[in-house]
Amino acid sequence: MKRLILLPVLFLVSNYIQGQTKINSATFGAMEARQLGPGTMSGRITAIEGVISDNKTIYTGTAGGGIWKSTNAGASWKPIFDKYCQSIGAIAVDQTKPDIVFAGTGESNMRNSVSIGNGLYKSTDGGENWSKLGLDSTEHIAKIVINPKNSDIVYVAAPGPLWSDSKHRGLYKTTDGGKTWNKILYINEKSGCADIALDPQNPETLYATTWEFRRLPYSFNSGGKGSGFYKSTDGGRSWKELKNGLPQKPFGRVAIALAPSNPKKLLAIVEAKETGLYISEDAGETWKNQSSTMNVTARPFYFSTIVFDPKDANRVYRPAFSFSYSNDGGYSFSEASNEGGWVHSDHHALWINPNYTNQMFLGTDGGVYFSMDRGATWLFVQNLPVGQFYHVAIDNQQPYRMYGGLQDNGSWIAPSAAPGGVGNANWMNIYFGDGFWTQPDLNDPHIAYAEYQGGNMGRINLTTLKSVNIQPQQTPKEEKLRWNWNTPIVIGIANPKNLYTGAQYLYRTKDQGRSWERISPDLTTNDKKKLQQEESGGLSADNTSAENHCTLFTITESPFDEKTIWVGTDDGNLQLTTDAGKTWTNVAKNYAAAGVPPQTWVSSIEPSKFDKNTVYATFDNHMYGDMKTYIAKSTDLGKTWHLINSPEFTGFAHKIKEDNKNKNLLFLGTENGLFASVNGGTDWFRMKSNIPEYALVRDIQIHPTTNDLVLATHGRGIIVLDDITPIRELTQSIADSAVYIFPSKPMTLSMGKYGSGGFPGNGGWTASNPSYTYTQPIQYYFKERLNSGDVKLNIYDEQGKLIQQVPGTKRKGINMVYWNLRYTPPKVATGGSKPDYSGFIAPMVMPGKYTIKISIGNKEYTSDLTLIPDNSDSSFQLSDRKAQHDAAMQLYQLHEKLYQLTTKINNNQKRLKASDTLMKTVKGKKILQDYNAALESLRSTLLATKSKSIFADESKLREQISELYRTLCTQEARPTELQTARIAQLQSEYEKAQKEYEAIDAKYAEQAQIAIEAEKQIGKGSGSRSSH
Amino acid sequence: MKLFKLPLVLGILLTTSTAFAQSAEEVISKHLTAIGGADTWKKINTMKMSGSITAQGMEIPVTMTTVNKKGFRLDLTIMDANNYQIVTDKEGWMFFPIQGQQKPEPMTADDVKEMQDQLDIQGELVDYKTKGSKVEFLGKDDMEGTEVLKIKLIEKSGKEKTMFFDAGNYYKLKESQKLKANGKEMEVATTFSNFKKLPEGITVPFTIESPNGPVTLKSVEVNPKVEDKIFKPAL
């Protein structure tokens, strides 16, 4: 029978010998990335919606970090959109059936760095599962409104594509819950629908605004003939334009609000030549202009939120630069005091609980805030790790530090590991403004370089956080310097003493920015048509350096030679020098020949570490409406190029990274995902491994010693995939084997590099430490998930003694199983008032050679494992470890001896008790009872037998052994003299007890046996006696 | 404004992709066939599963005894001491000396309700319609690299479970549900592997992994004699 059961395993194993196995993310699924966040600066929030019926379920949509759900009013959050587009424009909850949720992808705060959506999604189970409803090409969705009286009717306002003309914009309507959609308001290919409001009492009455807008890489326009303000009273079948009292057209973006408690009352912020706030008291028929504060009229393309209190039509909120409110229906506004603490500026979303309108959630460029007093004071939600990094850099400290700058959130540093894990408190803010490149000084760990928008850069003392501005200045020999929004600041690879930056010229410093040398002419196209940023913005001028153009965008020094430098620009040039800047060659024409469009941003350049003539580059053409993923490779220093392509790719390309050790391993970060290739770029797969599948991956680093893959995401903070060695080592032939056991590398024996501290964290977001700071996994590979049979790892010491058994996992691909490097716990005396937890703890083993026998179904594989001493702790040498191990093992054995002794006593007592009930003679009874009493008296000295309370227990021999045993098992130190002496004392107490047991045994055992035998004889001899 | 007078002709019609290749009913029927067939399962009235939980070398013997619709009992022997949990159609008890309990204590009504699923020895998928449950096909998914078919089961009580079936052999590889305790929801997932066919014709997983650790079964007895008294608490 047993044989029959095992047959399927054999079949499984033999069945998969033919054909090539695809290596993909599932192959490495056991490797789970750590999302480091942090939550301390968070990121841009675009939508917040609550469930009215329960007062505590909140959905938060983010600019690049998907959707997060809280079911406890913000105390904890869970990402619920990790398999889909991460840029969220709008969320709507069907309040009549709150498990129905709509999510529109593609944020509509149309700044330069805004991401792009891919349609509308619906969930019918509160966000657990989603299906796509369509509107795929709208790219940006501003609002979703559900008819409160018939939730099958839904409206979606889609401004549509930002970077190109498109028919896929306007106001869409469904009457069947999203199965089919009609476009019910459409102007032209340049103008979409920016906002919509619906009269809740009379839901056929709708107000909608249209918006003409467009970005180019070097300018922005908000406003035009296509912008307008419309009303429908028949659910969108016909529309009339609202004009009466509104300003002269053209309009720009118009934001509207309707008072739920008085639906005839509306507010509109109308972007026009004179932007203003307009009020209507008659359902939009006539409007009155109100003089408005700066905060009400500021940046209408970016701040498009105005909200009525759900119950009080006089109370109005304007979240914008800051938070203003009105108590007179919008006639006048005041600024909230923020006396409870700082609130991040730039607000985009506000949710007010209609049941209790003092309670509100505010979404800003730096996370979510919560108020219980109508916005007078705010509490920051510290556990939403949705920061928008542009770049990440790493250093050589132990643990290494991560450096990065974020959209509207400055520049930060954090260690990759810390006691208790990496939490909010481990992150240090070192520079301000919009953060981009942040670079370590690899020669001086106290110094870092960071910048804010427009090329403003500083050298920062990391101890004091005092900074010195080091931005290169214009001389009479140069034109006005042009700095990209995201100006490169880069340290050299061949020579880390070099620090580079670039305007339209390349600059290099060798003395930490105290002096700069310009080492190039203008490397851009210097196209004057693209240099009119002062006129950018459209109706409202908006020149924040975000549209600066014809600038350097990426700089890379060759790993082979500091004189070879690659420079990419935002206007389509890729320039190479091999003589440290004396002469430059533009290779743009060469990759254009391979199919990269002209003017394309050079988003990253990756010279190979394995061949000095090989270089990879990524190109980003999305600002011309082309979202394709462009990667090119040259093996002749840029003379000829070929495109690397894959059907897997989604999103425009930000960064390509070649592995440090395996030249065939490549990683690609795009606006919509992380991709990997293990065969030099021929085949690619999307990396999942706890990384959101469409994460905005802006930058990638690989640490030279820990082999960690470090990602800068624009919406999910820093993500680290620890130790990518398994990806490096997985060859096609391994992938093709049914089972493969990876040879184990020597493992360092240690209880881990870090302690845990005290109480868990300071709140906020905490990422665990890399598992390699504790121990290394034992790894094996399965071509298919193991369905039949079990996996067990048996670990033997050098003498061949089985010391541990660890259950194995059975997943397809690489499996990683951890042995805690300890023995099996001892058997601990039982029968006390409480269990003794020493039965769960074992001493660590000693350095040496071990054998692992891995049983998989009915097969067994053998692998060797060497444990080496940890030399990093000078206070805990090998001899100390030996002393500790031996001391712990003495107590281990003492526990086991005591177990034997108490088990003997327990068994004897059980036997005596059973006999006692049968015993009829008084003399016999007395012998048994005396025997039992003597045993009980001994037993009560061996372990706690009386229960008191949780914190007041007896301490007997077992407890005394345990106290010291647990101490010695859980720390790394040579035992103190007193500890060693204590062991001897406990041993002698045990021996005393053992002797006492023998004495009791000698005194009673024989008598008791005789009495029991006699009783048996009596019972056999005469049945009648029992009737006396 | 003639643009807006043009009726729905201009409208763009978009349709969702509701046409999945398989229906929930089909997946469940294939699953039941794969584990021996509903009729075989219906012949089972009692079951006793014995095995152990392994945690870093410690083996904790485990026994699970079920009488269909009447009682379920879980026994764990930890450091020579017996710990147990009992659920019947009416009540539930637990006794975990390992957690410092001195005597058996009744389970809360919520916990009893959550655990009463265990009383359905055939599993919730056999005759799910008669049991008043609804099912929904959630499409294909990837579970640890294996292609799975996802089904949501909504029981009469409103309790929802998501089940993941191997798209190749239709074994149930995973089940996740939200447990309610103290008004909070907690997602608990259980995975199944090490499938074996028993002489009685049913196929059962011999390894069951839950947040409490993996249980590996050594034996599964079908229709053994079970005494009623084991469903009453006793020290």
pLDDT bracket for residue B235 (50, 70, 90): low
Q: How confident is the model at residue B115 (pLDDT cuts 50, 70, 90)?
A: confident
Indicate whether A734 belongs to any domain: no
- Residues in chain B with CB shorter than 8 Å from the CB of A827 are 79
Q: Is pLDDT at A1024 greater than 50 in this prediction?
A: no
Is residue B157 included in any domain, yes or no?
yes
- In-domain check, residue B79: no
Q: Nearest by CB to A134, from B8, B16, B207: name it.
A: B16
Q: For residues A501-506, give the mean pLDDT.
A: 98
Residue A365 at interface with chain B, using a CB cutoff of 8 Å: no
Query: The domain containing residue B178 runs over which residues?
Result: 133-221
A834 touches chain B (CB under 8 A): yes
Domain count, chain A: 3
| CB burial of residue B95 (10 Å; 0-12, 13-18, 19+) | buried
Residue of A nearest to B103 (CA): A833
Q: Which of A181, A688, A804 sits opposite B56 (nearest CB)?
A: A804
**Residue A54 domain-assigned?**
yes
Residue A206 is predicted with a pLDDT of: 98
Cα dist. A656→A566, A616, A666, A725, A961 in Å? 14, 7, 7, 19, 58
Taking the Cβ of residue A950 and every Cβ of chain B, the question of whether any pair is shorter than 8 Å is answered with yes
Of the candidates A181, A805, A840, the beta carbon closest to that of B54 is on: A805
Min mean pLDDT across A343-347, B31-35, B176-180 is at B176-180
- Taking the C-alpha atoms of residue A674 and residue A655, their distance in angstroms, rounded to an integer, is 10
Q: For residue A317, is it within any domain?
A: yes
Q: Do B196 and A5 touch (CB under 8 A)?
A: yes
**From residue B159, how far is each of A563, B85, B177 by CA, in Å?**
67, 21, 8
Tell me if A416 is assigned to some domain.
Answer: no
Q: Which of A621, A645, A669 is the last residue of a domain?
A: A645
**Number of residue pairs across A and B with CB atoms under 8 Å?**
144
Report if residue A915 sits inside a domain: yes
Per-residue pLDDT band for A760 (boundaries 50, 70, 90) equals low
Number of domains in chain B: 1
**CATH code of the domain covering residue A462:** 2.130.10.10
Considering the domain boundaries, does residue B146 fall inside one? yes
Contact B4 A839 (CB under 8 A): no
Average pLDDT over residues A705-720: 98
In angstroms, rounded to a whole number, what is the distance separating the alpha carbons of residues B161 and B142? 17
| Domain assignment present for A829 | no
Query: Is the N-terminal amide bond of A385 cis, ω within 30° of 0?
Result: no
Note every long-range contact of A940-943, with CB atoms under 8 Å and residues 24 or more positions apart, other chains counting: A941/A993, A942/A829, A942/A898, A942/A901, A942/A902, A942/A905, A942/A993, A943/A829, A943/A831, A943/A832, A943/A836, A943/A898, A943/A902
B185/A71 Cβ within 8 A: yes
pLDDT computed for residue B78 by the predictor: 85
The sign of the CA dihedral B16, B17, B23, B24 is negative
User: Residue A94 in contact with residue A80, Cβ under 8 Å?
Assistant: no
Note the pLDDT of residue A778: 95
How far is the C-alpha of B65 from the C-alpha of B87, rounded, in Å?
Answer: 11
Residue A4 lies in a domain: no
Give the tokens for residue A955: 């301490």
Separation in Å, CA B141 to CA A81, B160, B166: 15, 18, 10
Phi and psi of B98, rounded to 5°? -65, -25
Given B4, B17, B81, which is nearest A238 (Cβ)?
Answer: B4
Per-residue pLDDT at A426 exceeds 80: yes
Q: What is the mean pLDDT of residues A804-821?
A: 94
Does A277 score more than 90 pLDDT?
yes
Q: Which of A261-265, A444-448, A1002-1006, B3-7 has the lowest mean pLDDT?
A: B3-7
Residue A557: pLDDT over 90: yes
One domain for residues A347 and A239: yes
B139: CATH: 2.50.20.10
B2 is a domain residue: no
Phi, psi of B147 (to 5 degrees): -75, 130
For residue A14, pLDDT beyond 80 = no
Domain annotation covers residue B63: no
d(C-alpha A103, C-alpha A141), whole Å: 9
pLDDT band at B97 (very low <50, low <70, confident <90, very high): confident
Worst-scoring range by mean pLDDT, A128-142, A512-526, A592-606, A946-960?
A946-960
What was the ipTM of the complex prediction? 0.85
**Residue B212 belongs to a domain:** yes
Structure confidence at residue B178 (pLDDT): 81
CB A490 within 8 A of CB A444: no
Query: Which is nearest to A401 in space by CA: A754, A39, A789, A720?
Result: A720
CA dist list (Å): A950 to A621, A688, A940, B100:
67, 46, 19, 8
Task: Report whether A222 contacts A537 (CB < 8 A).
Answer: yes
Predicted confidence (pLDDT) at residue A719 exceeds the cutoff of 90: yes
**pLDDT mean over A690-706:** 97
More confident residue, B235 or A695: A695
If asked whether residues A365 and A467 sit together in one domain, one would say no
CA A436/CA A501 separation, integer angstroms:
13
Judged against a pLDDT cut of 60, whether residue A1028 lies above it is answered with: no
Element (H, E) at A610: none
Distant-in-sequence, close-in-space partners of A3: CB < 8 Å, separation ≥ 6? none
Question: Is the pLDDT at B14 greater than 50, yes or no?
Answer: no
What is the mean pLDDT of the segment spanning A435-448?
A: 98
Q: Are A12 and A18 in contact (CB under 8 A)?
A: no
Using a pLDDT cut of 90, give the percent of chain A over it. Answer: 87
At A812 the pLDDT is 94
Q: Note whether A235 and A133 are same-domain residues.
A: yes
- DSSP H helical ranges for B43-120: 109-115
Q: Is B195 part of any domain?
A: yes
Instruction: Report the pLDDT value the prediction gives residue A18, as an integer from 0 to 100.
Output: 45
Domain end marker among A613, A645, A677: A645
What angle separates helix A977-1000 from helix A957-969, to the nearest 10 degrees? 150
Q: Specify the pLDDT at position A245.
A: 97
Label the pairing between strands A747-749 and A859-869. parallel
Global model pTM greater than 0.90? yes
CB contact under 8 Å between B80 and A27, yes or no, is: no
Query: Cα separation of A894 and A959, whole Å?
Result: 12
- Compute the C-alpha angle A710/A716/A717, nearest 5°: 55
- For residue A622, tell me if it sits in a domain: yes
Q: What is the mean pLDDT of residues A922-940?
A: 93
Question: Residue A949: its pLDDT value, please?
Answer: 65
Phi first, then psi: give them for residue A1004, nearest 5 degrees.
-110, -30
How many other CB atoms sit within 10 Å of the CB of residue A704? 12
Pick from A95-104, A409-418, A571-580, B99-108: least confident: B99-108
Note which residues in 66-105 of chain A have CB less than 8 A from chain B. Answer: 71-72
Chain B residue at shortest CA distance from A184: B11
Instruction: Write down which residue in A342, A364, A380 finishes a domain.
Output: A380
Give A99 to chain B, closest Cα distance, Å: 13
Half-sphere exposure for A731 (CA within 13 Å, toward CB)? 5
**Which has the minimum average pLDDT: A15-29, A59-73, A84-98, A953-967?**
A15-29
To probe the interface with B, which of A785, A837, A898 has the most B CB atoms within 10 Å?
A: A785
Could you list the residue range(s) of the whole structural domain that residue A636 is in? Answer: 442-447+456-485+487-534+543-645
Q: How far is CA A243 from the centre of its chain?
A: 48
| Residue B181 within any structural domain of the chain | yes
Q: How far apart are the CA of B38 and the nearest CA of chain A, in angstroms?
A: 21
State the average pLDDT over residues A44-59.
Answer: 97
> With an 8 Å Cβ cutoff, is A825 touching chain B?
yes
Question: Which residues in chain B have their CB less than 8 angstroms from residue A1's CB?
Answer: 199
**pLDDT (0 to 100) of residue B181:** 63
Count other C-beta atoms under 10 Å from residue A534's C-beta. Answer: 9
Mean pLDDT of B211-229: 91
Please check the confidence at residue B20 and state whether its pLDDT lies above 80: no
